[in-house]
Amino acid sequence: MRNLYFLILICILTCLGGCKQVNYGNDERVITVSILPQKYLVEKICGNKFSVQVLLPPGANHETYEPTSLDMASLEGANLYFSIGYLDFELNWLPRFASAQPGLKVINTSKGISMIEGHYEEHEQAGRGIDPHAWLSPANCKMQARTIARTLCDYDSANAAYYKQNLGIFEVQADSIDRKIRSILSVCPGKSFLIFHPALAYFAREYGLEQISIEFEGKEPSAAKIRELIDIARKKNIRNILISKEFDTRNAEAIASEINARVIVFDPMAADWPGNMVHLAELIAENK
């Protein structure tokens, strides 16, 4: 009986150990990114030269997400890590990743972008006051793509021409998306829109829009703030309230009921970056 228990224990430990291992082919090179839109962007540049894995699961909130042991194990096979640079979980965990894996090259793809200050003054950690949603702008994504291409050219110089060609193709695509968005928004110059969490500051800046946030300094609004927002929405004739899918809709619905508006849920981290950018423009243009 004791031998049987011993064999069972060995089997359990073997299975647990196996679960924590992420095995890649001997010749497979791996890039890790933080969020799904980055996966789209990196794959556009690296093509078939690398496999790209995403750390943040679909639907997860970057402000509260903590990597699992499986996530940590997956980094052991990565050659490069492309970060956004200012997501909350990156600020918390990237130093730990670098400490645990000194050979992992981490690249901040927001470097060189004019970042927007957020409303998070209560946080003291460096980078907490920066709005991280830089990818929600075609111009910013082009800059991120150039950073990715330069890194890959340096890391894998034998395929530099391939990465540069892919970069050129993506830049043409991003310019096309930009023209389409401008065409959609041309019917509403100077348009204001109401949003729960201020995730579209870069989109608004690029297209001359006014983003009005329900959430303030990372907190839900007070009763007085809600009354103020209702007055603003009525004055500006706002009929849609946008909210990221990871947030509770109750406060947005309370305001919507007062101004006869719709609450529209969107995903700032959708995998289909070009489709999502056009979709955001359509949502804002609908509010007329």
Residue from 203, 195, 260 nearest 221 by CA: 195
- Give 17's pLDDT tier (boundaries 50, 70, 90): very low
- 69 falls in which pLDDT band (50, 70, 90)? confident
Q: Nearest Cα to 45, choosing from 201, 127, 153?
A: 153
CA distance 264 to 244: 9
Instruction: Provide the terminal-to-terminal Cα distance of the chain, rounded to the nearest Å.
Output: 76
Q: How do residues 193-204 score in pLDDT, each as one tens digit?
A: 999 999 999 999
Asked if the model's pLDDT at residue 70 lies above 60, the reply is yes
User: Which residues touch 90 (CB under 8 Å, ≥6 apart)?
Assistant: 34, 62, 83, 84, 132
* Structure token pair of residue 134: 């830089």
Long-range contacts of 40-44 (CB under 8 A, 24+ apart): 40/271, 40/272, 40/273, 41/135, 41/141, 41/144, 41/145, 41/148, 41/170, 41/273, 42/82, 42/148, 44/145, 44/166, 44/169, 44/170, 44/173
Question: Which token pair is 276?
Answer: 């999502």
Residues 220-256: pLDDT tens digits? 888 899 999 999 999 998 989 999 998 889 889 989 9
Domains of the chain listed by start with CATH number: 26-181 (3.40.50.1980), 187-286 (3.40.50.1980)
Residue whose entry in the numeric block shows the structure tokens 């909350």: 88
Least confident of 86-100, 116-130, 156-170: 116-130
Handedness of CA 233, 235, 239, 240 (dihedral sign): negative
**Quick check: 36 and 135 in contact, CB under 8 A?**
no
pTM of the full structure: 0.86
Token representation of residue 54: 């995403």
Which amino acid appears at position 111 of this protein? K
Question: What is the pLDDT, as a whole number, of residue 189?
Answer: 61
Give tens-digit pLDDT for 101-141: 888 999 999 999 999 987 544 444 555 689 999 999 999 99
